[in-house]
Structure 1
Amino acid sequence: MKTHHFYYLTLTLILLGGGLLVTLFISETIFAKDLAENTERIIVDPDLTAGGGQRDSFQASHYADTTAYLKGIDISKYQKDIDWSGLSDKITFIICKATEGRTLMDSEFDSNWKNIEKAGRYRGAYHFYRSNDDPEVQAEFFYSTVGELGANDLPMVLDIESGSLVGAVNKTKLTADLLSFLQTVEKLSGKKPMIYSNSYFASQYLNREEFASYPLWVAEYTSKSEPTIPYFWSAKGGWSFWQRSASYDLSSVDGEVDFDIFNGNMEALKNFISSTSEEDQ
């Protein structure tokens, strides 16, 4: 759920003095953040690695305290080997990839979706949007793959980022298509869906007030105590979920995994799920 672009700037200065020619090269790498500015690996809570997980060399104390928030992870086919029985009880929720475009289902979705429920965690599913596919067809495919949501399931998630854009993109058409996707998912699932993106992308493509009526799962890897919030969401309560790291070491998961937090405690999470249901709107 992440992409990074790299740009290089070279500045050459020629100084003449004392008959000497001096050339100075200044190079700067600019990380245009599709997701974040800080991609260093973190361990937020030592208890989450109980069971033999390898501690990171980067000090957790460099990061803002997250103990007040509920913790979770998001997964896809790239995390094949998960020790569900050894999953830390500090992990409250897990969001897994379900679909992409109009035909691609994540190969591990069925297994992940069932195992999350068996493990007693709150679960959610996300769809990676493709701008060259029909939005309503994508929404219907997403819902038919996930199926009816349970009372404790998180709202379905639209994952929209730079990797979603295929070819030349007309912003007006993209806006209309994304709203069509969201409205179709809400109608089918009975829950207002959530949007996963980052402030950099959202400021370009989601800069309309209608999008801020949907809960925000924001991606930003930073040591700050709060993520950067797109303009329209900042006026409507800010973020609901925050993806803080894409390289999290968890002993029960083979390889690195995305680390997320929910903006509140358990009571707030239950209220959040309830508030996205049609009958409560």
Structure 2
Amino acid sequence: MRILNRFLMVVTLAALAACGGGGHRGGPAVMVGQGSGPQFGDSAPHAWVGGHPYDHPVHGIDISRYQGDINWNRVRSSGVSFAFIKATEGGDHADPNFRRYWHEAAQARIPRGAYHYFYFCRSGAQQAAWFIANVPRERGALPPVIDLEWTVSKTCPRRPPSWEVLREAKIFKDILHRHYGQRPIIYTTVDFYRDNDLRRWPEEFWLRSVAGHPRHVYPGQRYTFWQYTGTGRVPGIGGDVDLNVFAGSPGEWRAWLNGRMQ
């Protein structure tokens, strides 16, 4: 492991030099380019300190229609172990590529789940009904995900008080739990987590943290997934894509899958 970490550090430093460091766009920077590790890149890599996503062996992606046509077999062979696919947002919008991605990912034998972008201008019950109308209840799918972050939509700019946020989100996830038989995973961002004190929730978390390790950004918070960049590059996908890691070993990943993919 020490040799691997040294190799990863050398690769990362070389990539940063080539791209001008985090925050500047350039050519794709290789993360792990040898052996059996993921063959990913990053168009704007971050100079990680105090914990590195590349040390995690299980990587995945989350996608929406903006990824366009995807070669899922290349994605799988590059080292992608899971995919979360945007299905819906609010109470009346469905991603036009969801059903195609859902089918294609399954054909490539990539474990996949669906996520919903939560709006604060619709009730949790309305949004749950919309998600259920668009996402099949399918044996072997990953748990559904509720994406909780402050929206930037002009049609729904409101920021309700925390008690209302938690009430409606709980209604949403409880309905999905009953329908799909799996507790939804909570995806969230640093500011939303802080503003709504989500550390009080005994839920399974997927945390966004693109400029620091979650143990520093979300101190004390347990998590299952970590979204570490929005500028990843993956063979089979044109342009940037979100990259994530599972917080555990390959063996723990298999055990998690066996426990959650019913």
Equivalent position of 1:250 in the other structure: 234
* CA shift for structure 1 position 61: 8.2
Residue 150 (structure 2) pairs with residue 159 (structure 1): no
* CA shift for structure 1 position 110: 0.4
Normalized against structure 2, the TM-score is what?
0.77
* CA shift for structure 1 position 66: 2.3
User: Does the 8 Å contact 1:218/1:227 carry over to 2?
Assistant: no
Tell me: CA distance 1:259–1:66, structure 2 relative to 1, closer, same or farther (3 Å).
same
Normalized against structure 1, the TM-score is what?
0.72
Would you tell me which structure has more helix in proportion to its own residues?
A: 2
TM alignment of 1:30-179, pairs within 5 A? 43-46=30-33, 56=43, 64=52, 66-87=54-75, 88-151=77-140, 153-163=141-151, 166-179=157-170
Equivalent position of 2:17 in the other structure: none
Q: 1:240 aligns with which of 208, 224, 241?
A: 224
Tell me: CA distance 1:66–1:256, structure 2 relative to 1, closer, same or farther (3 Å).
same
Give the residue type in structure 2 aligned to 1:138. Answer: Q
Give, in whole Å, the separation in 2 of the partners of 1:121 and 1:258.
Answer: 16
String of CA shifts for 1:209-246, please: whole Å, max 9, x gaps.
2x2x2210000112548562265xx2xxx110000000
Structure 1: gaps (5+ residues): 1-37
* CA shift for structure 1 position 84: 1.9
String of CA shifts for 1:62-112, please: whole Å, max 9, x gaps.
782524330111100000121223223411101110000111110100000
Tell me: CA distance 1:181–1:43, structure 2 relative to 1, closer, same or farther (3 Å).
farther
User: Does the 8 Å contact 2:53/2:228 carry over to 1?
Assistant: no
* CA shift for structure 1 position 116: 0.8
Give, in whole Å, the separation in 2 of the partners of 1:274 and 1:185.
Answer: 20
Give the residue type in structure 2 aligned to 1:256. Answer: D
Would you tell me which structure has more strand in proportion to its own residues?
A: 1
Note the aligned Cα RMSD (angstroms): 2.9
Equivalent position of 1:188 in the other structure: 179
SS in structure 2 at match of 1:78: helix
Give the residue type in structure 1 aligned to 2:186. Answer: I
Tell me: CA distance 1:39–1:275, structure 2 relative to 1, closer, same or farther (3 Å).
farther
SS in structure 1 at match of 2:218: coil
Give 1 or 2 for the bigger CA radius of gyration: 1
Query: Number of matched residues?
Result: 231
Structure 2: gaps (5+ residues): 1-21
User: Does the 8 Å contact 1:43/1:248 carry over to 2?
Assistant: no
Percent identity for Structure 1 against Structure 2? 23
